[in-house]
Amino acid sequence: MIEIEVKVRLEHSKARSILKTIGAVQLGVESQSDIYFAAPYRDFAKTDEALRIRSLDGKAVLTYKGPKLDSVSKTRKEFETPVDEATTTQILHALGFSEAGVVRKKREVFSAGEITVCLDAVESLGEFLEVEIVAENEKELETSRAKLFELLKQFGAGEKDSIRTSYLEMVLEKYKD
Amino acid sequence: MIEIEVKVRLEHSKARSILKTIGAVQLGVESQSDIYFAAPYRDFAKTDEALRIRSLDGKAVLTYKGPKLDSVSKTRKEFETPVDEATTTQILHALGFSEAGVVRKKREVFSAGEITVCLDAVESLGEFLEVEIVAENEKELETSRAKLFELLKQFGAGEKDSIRTSYLEMVLEKYKD
């Protein structure tokens, strides 16, 4: 299974009316607070890995994301475990990991047929729309990407608007100086 | 709060009859499987730290133990979080941690007044008895140690029998060659 995602900058007031027009169904709303950690022994920015604690609704999840496995999709190994947020942060600090950055966002999730649409309101960054589809295999990759961009067209967005930078990278870039 | 522990080698058949005589109350029995991890960037044996996943009764806990804080007691920082065992092992492997050793034991826990007594049957190592008391502060340390050795005397054990080596170290020592 391959997850294909495309993210664009888009005002949510505009997105909402289009979601209504195309008959998308709202699945839920989450307030996510993601703390990303830096390892003391390798540079996750260079190795394209991420270690994160996501907190939502009083629950927390520790997630490891491995490097992207190819250059055309965002496919990557991902391992997740529910944890206690406070003590897991203490464990990571004790092991020498430090906080690299925090991404806080409100995520509204919609279903538009086989495509999942997220409206992300990211603290200090603004409003985004993310579309996602799950392909069964590599062969479907191109067809699936085409479907995503076909849907995005209805929101007035195209390939040139696609943002491959992660929210964490955008937050770090913003506060670099 | 300071945890003071003394561990000795002792046949459980002998220990059980003495526990009965002194009126100790059995609190529970646990089958614990502890996987200890080695970090890719520092030697936990040298830094006197430990990172472990303990599994018992289908549940798992990730525990970090910091270096002992002084030379007289086994006081150390300890942080614990419930986790999913399989994915946490995957996360640690992906981060470059490797399995340093496994300690499997059956632990029977008894209460003898303010002292907790554990009968540990450790795979490949044999039978042990561990006594533990919690002191409110440093001042009580000596009194508490004295209480532990007073109880141990009833089991025919003294200061010279005290084992400061951890089960992991004993397991690693055993399979060194």
Instruction: Write the CATH number for B150.
Output: 2.40.320.10
Q: What is the pLDDT of residues A97-126, one digit of tens each?
A: 999 999 999 999 999 999 999 999 999 999
Whether B113 and chain A come into contact, CB under 8 Å, resolves to no
- Whether residue A95 and residue B64 make contact (CB cut-off 8 A), yes or no, is yes
Query: Which candidate from B40, B51, B90 shows the least CB-CB separation from A79?
Result: B90
Query: pTM higher than 0.90, yes or no?
Result: no
- A12-25 burial: b if 16+ Cβ within 10 Å, else e: beebeebbeeeebe
Calculate the alpha carbon distances from A85 to A81, A145, B83 in Å: 11, 36, 11
The answer to whether B54 and B65 are in contact (CB under 8 A) is: no
Residue B82 sits in which domain range? Answer: 2-174
Identify whether the C-beta of residue B148 lies closer than 8 Å to the C-beta of residue B6.
yes
State the burial class of residue A115 (Cβ atoms within 10 Å of its Cβ: 0-12, 13-18, 19+).
buried
- pLDDT digit string (tens) for B52-103? 999 998 899 999 998 876 655 556 788 999 999 999 999 999 999 999 999 9
Cβ-Cβ contacts under 8 Å, B90 against chain A: 64, 79
Q: How far apart are CA A12 and CA A129, in angstroms?
A: 8
Element (H, E) at B46: helix B44-47
DSSP sequence for A31-57: EEEEEEEE-SSS-HHHHT-EEEEEEET
Residue A176, pLDDT score: 77
Q: Tell me which chain A residues have a C-beta less than 8 angstroms from the C-beta of B40.
A: 41
Our answer to whether residue B41 is catalytic in this structure is no
Q: Is B69 on the interface with A (CB under 8 A)?
A: no
| Phi/psi at A50 (5° precision) | -150, 140
Question: What does DSSP assign to residue B48?
Answer: T
**Number of domains chain A contains:** 1
Whether A47 contacts chain B with CB within 8 A: no
Q: What is the pLDDT of residues B9-51, one digit of tens each?
A: 999 999 999 999 999 999 999 999 999 999 999 999 899 999 9
